[in-house]
Chain A
Amino acid sequence: MPDWKPDLRRRLAGLQLPPAREAAIVDELAQHLDDHYRDLIAGGAEPAEAERLALADFQAGDVLAKYIAPLRLASEPSHPPPAAPGQSLLAALLQDIRYAARSLRRQPAFAAVTMLTLALGIGANSAIFALVDATLLRPLPFPDAGQLVAISERTPATPEAWVSPVNMTDWSTRSQSFVAIGGTAPNVASMVLANADGSTETIPRQWVSHGVFDALGVTSVAGRTFQRSDDLDRIERVVLAESFWRSRFNADPGIIGTSLRLDGDPYVVAGVVPDEAQILGRTSMWALRNVENLPPAARRQYSLRAIGRLKPGVTLEEARADIDRVAADLAREFPATNTGRGVNLVPLRDTIIGGDLRHTSTLFLGVVGVVLFICCANVASLLLTRTLARRRELALRTALGADRRRLTALVLTESLMLAIGGGAIGLAIAALVLRAAPALIPDGLLPATVTPTLDLRVAAFCAVTALVAGVLFGLVPAWHGASPAPSQLTSTRVTGGGLRTRQWLVAGQIATAVIVLVGAGLLVRTLVAVGRVDRGYRADRVLTMMVDPPGSPSLMAFYNEVERNIRALPGVRDVAWGTTIPLGESYLGDVSAEVAGANMAPADRPTADFQIVSATYFSALDLPIVAGRGFDGRDTADGQRVCMVNEAFAQRHLRERSPIGARLTLRSQSSTTDPGSECEVVGVVTQVKGRPDEAHDLMQVYVPLLQNTIGDVFLFVRGASGDVNALSPAVRAAITRADTTQQTSVRDLQTLDDVMLDATSRHRFRAALVTAFASLALVLAMVGVFGVLLYSVQQSAREIGVRRALGAGTADVLRLVAGAGARVIGAGVVAGLAFAALGARLISTMLFGVEPFDPMTFAGVASLVALTAALAMAAPVWRALRVDPVIALRNE
């Protein structure tokens, strides 16, 4: 066929038509000339003659241009710019989209299954991406968050110690690198707010120094934040968190400048800050702690965590050099306190988002990535079947002149449309998951400022995932679909092409499912091991709460009266006081313990969890004393100072002597110069776990409350029977009766069982999530097995029929079909186990009580996969067995 288009374009050239319009006219006229030419050839003309005659239909001169020129189309503005090849590409794309939409509409079930499969993968990925984005990628929610650093002190004994307020103000005034430095108390405690009507309520509060909000870069929502002058004028002040201000004071701006009565004293409300400031601590308000003009002795009070903001352009290294210089100056000026003390600067983000969270996020991302792969493989498999079934159509298109590129584009367009549909549904799934997430994620796993939300970044991730998935799972069918042999045109039977590809896909799916299942198995085994851990104490039905009376000389009398009141309550078996909750919070942290006569350098001295407990503590928690005695009436305030150690401490540090009678000097761990207090070991007590999954036995030292009376103590109430929570109103009332000042705050009510659950929540969360995804992966992989086997049975129905006709028995057919399936599954399982063995090491930090290469888990996963595979194979095999040789042959 001659190409008429150049001639036609030449005839229209003078008109300067819009390119699209010109192309349309050229198309139409070329079609006319084609038709005419074909008719002439059919009438017996030679090609050259036919071409000449067809063109002879044009009159002499520029008649075409002359007739078109007066028309409106000739005077239309000529845009888009001439020679835009995109136009025809775009047209082709639109055509493909219309076509794909039509063909998907014709098979709604196929489209729905495909999109839902993808939506599951994409939804899960997007939800987990939101978590990863919040934890690993996004900066902290403060301006120039990269300039924020956590500051701690360093001594020969501890690499990271709390900060002295006096040192902190010296760093701030003497260094050149910081915009601001501020400190916070490590804990959030609480204050009792007295209302005008005489009622009281307990409000969480954290002590902070001035400078802390400036360092964070937090600006007030109302009023102002703390300033240095606030510290100097020594007026008590608080700053409220925005959510507290809104909920408790209805966002009343009039509250600024007024006084709240907290713990009996007036505190002026300086301002309100956004909740982002809760990165310091989950609290409702911050009270100003004085750090300016403190007495020299305060240099020993290592009681703050400090944060600083580097000046713009100052790097961490420059700041470190600067602060080291200041620390060296301080050591020269104050040798008694500062000799050997250094300063650590660490990016704040690294301290907020710990390694545990980073590992967990990465693990989840890996797992959902695998699930997405399995989803894509299933969809590719589905599409491939469809494409192969459409081979005749595609062959016809090829015969009619569609080129390979065009066919590939057609098949890919379909994949992409499915992917986009799946992505949209996936985004909805992600939104649902994220809405439910706060209830599912254990408390404390995420820092206060980290909230996974569905934002533009997650939506963008979802879109990109959908597109990449669309291209990935579309490539295989596009490859197969775009190369149909011409013979396909006449064949009525779809040939078995693509079966091998599908078998590979299914083996890959099984392998990945095995990997995730092994991971889930290991994490579940960890959870079981953690749950079985010997906590040390035996008591159940124990209620605990933090009791925080205002400091007074009669503290011990108060504790005694509370204890008496509670013991008088029906259903109470025992009452005790202590500063550490087993498996929970240790209020006082570690001390450095020097064993008399052991001659150890300060850095080598043992450290131990320091607990102040009442004499009843051990009996109340059923904590056996294995040597010596517990605390009792002999250990009075002015008697011989005594202590108890746990088994691990005795075995490790008092091995060469009888532990009873050994003398320990206990010092604040962060101080090199604390003279410490000496005490005599009177007993050894059973090991109690600090964390359920601790790798090394925790060292513990106990001292009696009577000799070390402090505020902020946990109350332990052991019930006789039934639900111990039912005791809490009576216990609170008993405390109130003893509290003459009405300023005692009671908070953090929980049972020891709750504490245990909390302590294992991370393990449970990880195990539950990974198991859920692993189950999904298994189901999807088995759908793949089912699909490929059914397909292969359909493909080989004729072969089976021939074999049956030739006398093959049930066993032979079974061998043929199930054998093929078993080979694919076997290959997948073996590959999966091999990769899992390599990969299990990556999660070894999350495992406890189970080896990464745990034979039981590996064997269990292999049998589970084999079992479910047998189920998935049942229907296709059944179908193969029922192949009627006559019908199978007649089909041909």
Chain B
Amino acid sequence: MTAINTRTLDRELKRGSAELLILSLLDARPRHGYELSKLIRARSNGRLSFHIDSLYPLLYRLEERGWIKGTWVERAGARRRRFYKVTAEGRKVLAAQRKAWRAFVDAVRAVTGDENA
């Protein structure tokens, strides 16, 4: 399996599947940007990765839509960090997108007959 190239992911960004990734990860608990990027890379075994200059504009966009909320958190002696968590509205969106994604995957699998799709 080859890594999905940047261009593909960027297209996905526009299409909304990248949003699904972010919302899913934040659904578990609040995280900061670098943690998100590491998690995506690690869980996809390095096949998915965000560029720093794509990730943050996406976070800002989600925030502007009111799906996630960022707050600065101070820790004694450390630089402040911005943590994001999913809002109530974000959770609704996430549920809808998960459903749509599952339907899409099921449809693709049904068409291709490939167990691994």
Residue numbers of A with Cβ under 8 A of B are: 11, 24-25, 27-29, 31-36, 39, 57-59, 63-64, 67-68, 71-73, 95, 396-397, 399-402
Verify A58–B51 contact, CB threshold 8 A: yes
**Do the beta carbons of B52 and A33 come within 8 Å of each other?**
yes
Q: How far is the CB of A65 from chain B (nearest CB, A)?
A: 9
Question: Closest Cβ of chain B: how far from A349's Cβ, in Å?
Answer: 57
Which bucket holds chain B's interface residue count? 20 to 34
Q: B32, B33, B57, B81: which contacts A71 (Cβ < 8 A)?
A: B57
B80 and A67 form a contact (CB under 8 A): no
Q: A400, B37: Cβ atoms under 8 Å?
A: no
Flag if A72 contacts B64 (CB, 8 Å). yes
> Would you give 10 A-B contacts (Cβ < 8 Å), ordered by A?
A28-B56, A31-B81, A32-B33, A57-B52, A59-B53, A68-B57, A71-B60, A71-B64, A396-B77, A397-B76
Contact assessment for A68 and B51 in the assembled complex, using a CB-CB cutoff below 8 Å:
no
B57 touches A59 (CB 8 A): no
A34 touches B79 (CB 8 A): yes
In the complex, chain A residues whose CB is within 8 Å of the CB of B58: 67
Q: Is the CB of A71 within 8 A of B34?
A: no
Q: Is the CB of A400 within 8 A of B77?
A: yes
Q: In whole angstroms, what is the CA distance A36 to B38 when docked?
A: 9
Interface centre among B34, B54, B77, B81 (most CB of A within 10 A): B34
A399-B51 in contact (CB<8A): no
Partner of B34, one of A25, A35, A400: A35
Q: Which of A11, A27, A57, A399 has the most CB of B within 10 A?
A: A57
Return A814 CB to nearest CB of chain B, in Å.
44
Is B6 touching A36 in the complex (CB atoms < 8 A)? no
Task: Collect the chain A residues with CB atoms within 8 Å of residue B6's CB.
Answer: 59
Residues of B within 8 Å of A31, CB to CB, are 32-34, 79-82
Residue B61 interfacial (CB < 8 Å): yes
Q: From A74, which residue of chain B is reached at the shortest CB distance?
A: B60
Distance to closest chain A CB from B44 (angstroms): 16
- Could you say which residues of chain A place their CB within 8 Å of the CB of B33? 28, 31-32
A58 touches B52 (CB 8 A): yes
Chain B residues close to A by CB (< 8 Å): 6, 32-34, 37-38, 51-54, 56-58, 60-61, 64, 72, 74, 76-82
Q: A402 to B77, Cβ gap below 8 A?
A: yes
Residue of B nearest to A27 (CB): B80
Say yes or no: A28-B82 contact (C-beta < 8 A), given A33-B52, A57-B52, A397-B77: yes
B52 touches A73 (CB 8 A): no
Smallest CB–CB gap between A476 and chain B, Å?
25
By a CB distance below 8 angstroms, the chain A residues around B77 are: 396-397, 399-402
Contact: A32 with B52, CB < 8 Å? Answer: yes
Whether A29 touches B56, Cβ cut-off 8 Å, given contacts A72-B64, A399-B77, is yes
Query: What is the interface of chain B mostly: helix, strand, loop, or mixed?
Result: helix
Residue of A with least CB distance to B33: A32
Ranked nearest first, the 10 interchain pairs of A and B with the lowest CB-CB distance are A400-B77, A67-B57, A64-B53, A35-B34, A57-B52, A63-B53, A32-B34, A28-B82, A68-B57, A72-B64
Give min CB distance, A13 to chain B, whole Å: 14
Q: Are B34 and A58 in contact (CB under 8 A)?
A: no
Q: Which chain A residue lies CB-closest to B74?
A: A95
Residue of B nearest to A72 (CB): B64
- Point out the residues of chain A lying under 8 angstroms from B82, CB to CB: 24, 27-28, 31
User: Is A63 a contact of B54 with CB atoms below 8 Å?
Assistant: yes
Q: Which residues of B contact A33 (CB under 8 A)?
A: 52
B32 surroundings in chain A (CB, below 8 A): 31
Residues of chain B within 8 A of A71, CB atoms compared: 57, 60-61, 64
Determine whether the beta carbon of B52 is less than 8 Å from that of A25: no
Which B residues are CB-close (under 8 A) to A72?
64
In the complex, chain A residues whose CB is within 8 Å of the CB of B57: 64, 67-68, 71
Contacting pair B53 A32 (CB below 8 A): no
Instruction: State in angstroms the CA–CA spacing of A397 and B74 once bound together.
Output: 13
Bound-state Cα–Cα, A58 to B54, Å: 9
Q: Is the CB of B34 within 8 A of A68?
A: no
B28 to chain A, nearest CB (A): 19
Chain B residues contacting A29 (CB-CB under 8 Å) are 52, 56
> How far, in angstroms, from A36 to B81 measured CA to CA in the complex?
14
Please give me the residue from chain A that is nearest to B53 by CB atom. Answer: A64
Q: How far is the CB of A50 from chain B (nearest CB, A)?
A: 14
User: In chain A, what residue has the closest Cβ to B81?
Assistant: A31
Residues of B within 8 A of A402 (CB): 77
**Residue ID in chain A nearest B37 by CB atoms:** A32
Residues of chain B within 8 A of A32, CB atoms compared: 33-34, 37, 52, 56
A21, closest chain B residue (CB): B60
In the bound complex, CA of A397 to CA of B32 (Å): 23
- The answer for the CA separation of A400 and B53 in the assembled complex, in Å, is 29
- Rounded to whole Å, the gap between the CB of A86 and the closest CB of chain B is 19
Given A28-B33, A32-B34, A58-B52: A68 in contact with B60 (beta carbons within 8 A): yes
Give Cα A399–Cα B64 distance, bound, in whole angstroms: 37
Contact of B51 among A11, A57, A95 (CB under 8 A): A57
B13 nearest in chain A by CB position: A67
Q: In the assembled complex, which residues on chain A have CB atoms less than 8 Å from the CB atom of B54?
A: 59, 63, 67
Indicate if the CB atoms of B56 and A59 lie closer than 8 Å. no
Interchain CA distance A39-B82 in the complex, whole Å: 19
The docked-state distance in angstroms from the alpha carbon of A397 to that of B75 is 11
One of A39, A59, A64, A400 near B76 (C-beta < 8 A): A400
Q: List, in ascending order, chain A residues with CB within 8 A of B51's CB.
A: 57-59, 63
Contacts of B56 in A (CB 8 A): 25, 28-29, 32, 64
Do A73 and B80 contact each other (CB < 8 Å), given the known contacts A36-B34, A57-B52? no
Q: For residue A58, which residues in chain B have a CB less than 8 angstroms away from its CB?
A: 51-53
Cross-chain contact of B53 among A67, A73, A401 (Cβ < 8 A) = A67
Q: Across the interface, which residues of B come within 8 angstroms of A73, CB to CB?
A: 60, 64
Contacts of B81 in A (CB 8 A): 28, 31
Smallest Cβ distance from A103 to chain B, in angstroms? 12
User: A68 to chain B: which residues have CB within 8 Å?
Assistant: 57, 60
- Which residue of B is nearest A400, CB measured? B77
Cα A36 to Cα B52 with chains together (Å): 10
Given contacts A31-B34, A59-B53, A59-B54, contact A396 B79 (CB under 8 A): no
Bound Cα distance A396, B72 (Å): 21
Tell me, in angstroms, the Cα distance from A523 to B6 when the chains sit together. Answer: 91
What is the minimal beta-carbon distance from A4 to any residue of chain B, in angstroms? 10
What's the least CB distance linking A77 to chain B, in Å?
16
- In the bound complex, residues from chain B placing their C-beta under 8 Å from that of A25 are 56
Least CB separation from A62: chain B residue: B53
Q: Which residue of B lies closest to A35 (CB)?
A: B34
Q: How far is the CA of A59 from the CA of B32 in the complex (A)?
A: 21
How many Å lie between the Cα of A36 and that of B32 in the bound state?
13
Which residue of A is nearest B79, CB measured? A31
B5 to chain A, nearest CB (A): 12
Q: Tell me the minimal C-beta distance from A693 to chain B in angstroms.
A: 66
Question: How many angstroms from the CA of A402 to the CA of B37 in the assembled complex?
Answer: 29
Minimum CB–CB distance from B50 to chain A (whole Å) comes to: 9
| CB-defined contacts of B64 to chain A, threshold 8 Å | 71-73
CA distance A35 to B82 in the complex (A): 13
Query: Which residues of B sit under 8 angstroms from A28, Cβ to Cβ?
Result: 33, 56, 81-82
